[in-house]
Amino acid sequence: MPNNELRRRDIIAGGGLGIAAASLATTVLNPKEAAAQSSSDSLLRRVLDRGTVRVGTGSTNAPWHFEDENGRLVGMDIAMARILAKGLFDDPEAVEFVQQDPAARIPNINTGKCDIVIQFMTINEGRAQLVAFSRPYYVESISFLTRPDGEKNKYEKLLAAGSDAKVSILQNVDAEEAVHKQLPKAKVLMLDTQANVIQALDSGRVDAAAVDLSTTRWLKKRRPERYEDSGHRWFSMLYGAAVKQGDPNWLTYVNTVFNVAIYGHRNEIYDKAFFDFFAEEIPNRKAGFPPI
């Protein structure tokens, strides 16, 4: 019998645990070993040599990036940054956060101020001409935030109410049309800030506030006695990290780390963040045909 057939049978006899252990033993490298094997002109090598990853993000938009009661940056974007640092250095704290305005996201990538931007950045065709996007790590949408004590706290009730339903939304060119595609007869109140959109619901001026689904989940988790999810969402948007174009090694590495966190075996930080900020349990990863 050929030697390779014997080896194959030995591996099968050892079972999955043996395969996993062998895989870990042969693939884990420390940062210095990894740096020595990466391309000398790739950002991946420079990041590994530096010992920290510079992540552009914000600090004022819960549940994505904000400061907790101790002044520590937390949020889903921050969790993704720590996932990347853990992949690079086996240390989720090996991050230098570059706090920035959303308008600085693309300039700071292209001038090298950041290695990567993780800042609830919607992937679209225009931005993809300026930066390279990672695989998505969240699917955002619009939802109707309501009150649990409201007569029209579910989408079906809002729809049945017709012109008696009142909805607040952040003012923009397409705001009224966006609501009317879901509630054709509802009265639309356009306001200048997201805080005022939600305050209109709090004060009873409207029956629902059209806000991001992540905002709805976050507010419901924090104040379940005050906020409700109508159960309806629309207009899907993809959030991804952004890196400078022209460095496939760096982009491939980021995607690999995100894929393993979202679909693979290193999912503790990702799953905990999803529950902490969206009150959503990630279902068990289904074995078999790959989802990516």
Q: Convert the pLDDT of each residue in 151-167 to its tens digit.
A: 999 999 999 999 999 99
Q: Is residue 21 within a helix (H) or strand (E), and if so which, with residue range?
A: helix 3-27
Query: Does 248 share its domain with 126?
Result: yes
Query: Does 87 share its domain with 212?
Result: no
Query: Does 127 share its domain with 162?
Result: no
Instruction: Give pLDDT, residue 32.
Output: 57
| pLDDT above 80 for 4 | no
Is residue 289 assigned to a domain? no
Query: Does 124 share its domain with 15?
Result: yes
Query: Does 175 share its domain with 261?
Result: no
Number of structural domains (the chain) is 2
Is residue 88 assigned to a domain? yes
Instruction: Give pLDDT, residue 103.
Output: 95
Query: Does 69 share its domain with 167?
Result: no
Give me the domain span that covers residue 129: 11-137+240-278
How confident is the model over 231-237, as a mean pLDDT?
Answer: 96
Query: Does 66 share its domain with 150?
Result: no
Instruction: Residue 210: name the closest of 174, 161, 238 by CA.
Output: 174
Is residue 217 assigned to a domain? yes
What CATH number corresponds to the domain at position 92?
3.40.190.10
| pLDDT above 90 for 113 | yes
- CA–CA separation, 72 vs 97, rounded Å? 11
Instruction: Give pLDDT, residue 291.
Output: 73
Distances from the Cα of 258 to the Cαs of 1, 52, 228, 240, 278, in angstroms? 42, 17, 31, 10, 19
